Structure 1
């Protein structure tokens, strides 16, 4: 506690209200992606191959093999992450009870287990149509497919998912963000991009024509630069979805791994929020390409959170994670990624913003730079440790033995 009070005073000397910052952090949920726990396998077809430009690399033992194991692993991860939580579920995690049900016929009952689990724990849920790893997406196209029958199937799937999400939101009393990502694209250079994008727009229009209560569900669209096997053209590019969301008042999803390595995602936030009421942010870490590495407390992650806080955008940004690393302990991946996301947000919240803004407005860029650099050596760690204590989660590395014990007693028994 002495370390915290000393740190708190250091920040107060620069005009920072640490207590207010901790309250804001506690009230800002991070949505954990369910697919980290089983390498995007889902419950439809155990052991089925991933398609649609997605690849989970590694074979670390102990991945979840079904809903009970996946939710137990999430329970452990959530107990080690301070603050507010949500869980993001893909449609392929439907619980079908041994019945053969295709994705266009899913209903809320196939996700009742997720809703009951979330309600018991006070969690919010988010949702995603699964437009990959399916016979009707095998050639790489879904909503932009040239075959009308294939398009209609995916349109029905999209409508079904929005209805499911709306009912999830109603039952939980928490708005669900339903994020659409379609892998549609070409390995080699196409000659008629226009036709595919016209069909994509028409399909989305049909899906969104079905009215869903905005208090229960809001729709997001996620762009991607390229995918494995879709290197030359992605139909749902950044510009396509930016235009579509602005035209149709939808939520734009920005994924940290879905842009060119030399692009600065943080710079896009203030640009799109100038014209959109809200965005969805997928925090990830691309290494040379969209490789979905576990979130690190790196410059990119810090820059994202700094931009959100500096621009007073926190109430307009939904924060979730999107990575799947099968090369390390999957529960550790969740905890590392979520805690780093929160650490980056806390660092942004306790930045001496008012003083920095004043210096910038006065044109004193020298002192602004000096203060930014000096702030990097302030005792942030003591503030983070106090946040963990107040939320009854382990401080520092104390959480690691808990996961290693679970691995020894539970994960090692999974074959």
Structure 2
């Protein structure tokens, strides 16, 4: 698909304006087209999953809203994802949680196998999409008191260790099939609502459990283990076992990928400032791009200052090959497909804005102590014609520009998802 005449003309003018400050727009678009964002499956069904007993959400998670059209099974979720991908420029990944298998025969978390995800593997191959994965340490009877891998009961700990081991095997199979590493991210919600009397022992148990999960070496060209930190959660306001300091030390000492979630820190703390620090000591990191609002960590990603700062740090630091970008938000108060599209397009738009910066000029001015020029260029950049370049990129890749994509979502909603009831049909 080619761009419309007006879009192409605006793009040419924008390219000339960027060229005047030394920015090659076509080179920036070429770089952007090679960046794959890992789109999270759980926005499509409110983190319910497809286990046979349809466990209720809990253990530090909450999805608010009752917008109609929630995906009730894997086929509906895959249909929704196909639409979302068709409205997002570029080729992107899919991030699956372990509770999204095809469980025709019930299987507990410690019993899941590659066969439960073969449908996703086949679908991803047909769609030319690569997969990432996550164990699901929540919404389960063995997580009802808020503890899993750090539980004081050895039997419950072993159940979750076995779940983690099973998930690593599934992730490795996914990576072997797709020909690139499946990032397998471990987020463990364990913690206390009120002040603990012993912070040490749960962390010792968590480290021992993780060591048991990761004991078997797996090919790094098939899967990479990531560990994700959090400051607090619902039900763990006073103490989360897997804090930032815990997982930073664990990742460094065990050669794991560190996951930084934009909504997992204090509201006055940002992950954009952490990227260059952790990459001094780790070969790569995983980002969960989200939007925290007060105590909630997972609002739909918008074009905020922090989102732009995250992408600027990645580009300015030359980290594009060392940062894996994924999404993590869930909102049931708006159309779920639209939420995917809005969030992912904003991430890509922020990446484009960063790629269109005159980085060499900015860093040269800084190195020379010319902070006046640095500030002036940064401020002028804010009114450069990003929108014209973005619209051209969308149209040239066969994706609607502006808000035109919303028409596709509304048509899909009226013709398909609006007919879904809250009771899921049998999965055959």
With the length of structure 2 as denominator, give the TM-score of the two structures: 0.96
Q: 1:87 aligns with which of 94, 100, 113?
A: 94
Match for residue 368 of structure 1?
Answer: 374
CA distance in 1, matches of 2:22, 2:296: 39
Determine whether 1:124 maps to 2:140. Answer: no
5 Å-filtered alignment, 1:151-300, equals 151-300=157-306
Match for residue 392 of structure 2?
Answer: 386
CA distance in 2, matches of 1:337, 1:113: 26
Q: Aligned with 1:266: secondary structure?
A: coil
Determine whether 1:146 maps to 2:146. Answer: no
Match for residue 407 of structure 1?
Answer: 413
- Residue 264 of structure 1 and its aligned partner are, at CA, apart by 2.2
CA distance in 2, matches of 1:121, 1:173: 14
- Residue 367 of structure 1 and its aligned partner are, at CA, apart by 1.1
Match for residue 426 of structure 2?
Answer: none
Match for residue 76 of structure 2?
Answer: 69
Determine whether 1:103 maps to 2:101. Answer: no
Q: Which runs of 5+ in 1 are unaligned?
A: none
Compute the RMSD of aligned alpha carbons: 0.8
Does the CA contact (< 8 Å) of 2:55 and 2:140 recur in 1? Answer: no
Match for residue 358 of structure 2?
Answer: 352
CA distance in 1, matches of 2:83, 2:180: 22
CA distance in 1, matches of 2:154, 2:86: 46
Q: Aligned with 2:47: secondary structure?
A: coil
Q: 1:11 aligns with which of 8, 18, 34?
A: 18
Q: Deviations over 1:334-385 (max 9, x none)?
A: 0000000000000000001011111001101011101110111111111101
Does the CA contact (< 8 Å) of 2:98 and 2:134 recur in 1? Answer: yes
Match for residue 44 of structure 1?
Answer: 51
Match for residue 328 of structure 1?
Answer: 334
With the length of structure 1 as denominator, give the TM-score of the two structures: 0.99
- Residue 45 of structure 1 and its aligned partner are, at CA, apart by 4.1
- Residue 403 of structure 1 and its aligned partner are, at CA, apart by 0.2
- Residue 174 of structure 1 and its aligned partner are, at CA, apart by 2.1
CA distance in 1, matches of 2:364, 2:341: 37
Q: Deviations over 1:383-407 (max 9, x none)?
A: 1011112211111111011000111
Q: Deviations over 1:122-141 (max 9, x none)?
A: 10100000000011111111
Q: Which runs of 5+ in 2 are unaligned?
A: 1-7, 422-428
Aligned length: 414
Q: Aligned with 1:308: secondary structure?
A: helix
Q: Deviations over 1:105-155 (max 9, x none)?
A: 111100001000100011010000000001111111111111101111100
Determine whether 1:309 maps to 2:324. Answer: no
Match for residue 63 of structure 2?
Answer: 56
